[in-house]
Amino acid sequence: MRKTALLVSAIALLATLMSGTAFAVDPLAELGWLAGDWHGKDGPVEMEERWTEPRGGLMLYVHRDVKDGKAVSFEFGRVAPGPDGVITYFASPGGRPATPFKMVESKETRVVFENKQHDFPKRILYWLDANGSLHARIEGDPGDKEKAMEWVWEKGRF
């Protein structure tokens, strides 16, 4: 009886593995380190950014800047496979139509998205430093004397 139960369990596990559904990995799983609440200050501006966990091939984020108790800017966006299957960052600052940036680099805790046809930015970078702080950087053309902006955020909320 015990051998039969063990055999049935093994066959069920094998069938599940062969169906490809047992260990389905989200295509964005490698970006899970971005998920969570992040906050920081740039002078008088309080910045916050929230990222959802990768799930169903989609990550969502929202960003808000507040100065003197009033929202001064915001951005909505998502990361998902684009129509060509390449993981893409779709940025919608201030509620404008989304601009796509394709992922061109992904390492353990660093990701780079790029859209060479966009005016500014052309590249969006995120990475975690050794202290666990999240860095975000936007860059223009490499020949533009490195037109860039960078922010640093800590995990958690204000």
Beta carbons of 135 and 148 less than 8 angstroms apart: no
Structure confidence at residue 25 as a pLDDT band (50, 70, 90):
confident
**CATH code at 25-155:** 2.40.128.20
Cα Dmax for the chain: 75
What are the residue ranges spanned by the domains of the chain? Answer: 25-155
pLDDT of residue 10: 45
Structure confidence at residue 1 as a pLDDT band (50, 70, 90):
low
Rg of the Cα atoms in the chain? 20
pLDDT of residue 149: 92
pTM: 0.82
Summarised one tens digit per residue, pLDDT across range 69-90 is: 999 999 999 999 999 999 999 9
Summarised one tens digit per residue, pLDDT across range 100-136 is: 999 999 999 999 999 999 999 999 999 999 999 999 9
What is the 3-state secondary structure of the chain?
CHHHHHHHHHHHHHHHHHHCCCCCCCCCHHHHHHCEEEEEEECCEEEEEEECCCECCEEEEEEEEEECCEEEEEEEEEEEECCCCCEEEEEEECCCCCEEEEEEEEECCEEEEECCCCCCCCEEEEEECCCCCEEEEEECCCCCCCCEEEEEEEECCC
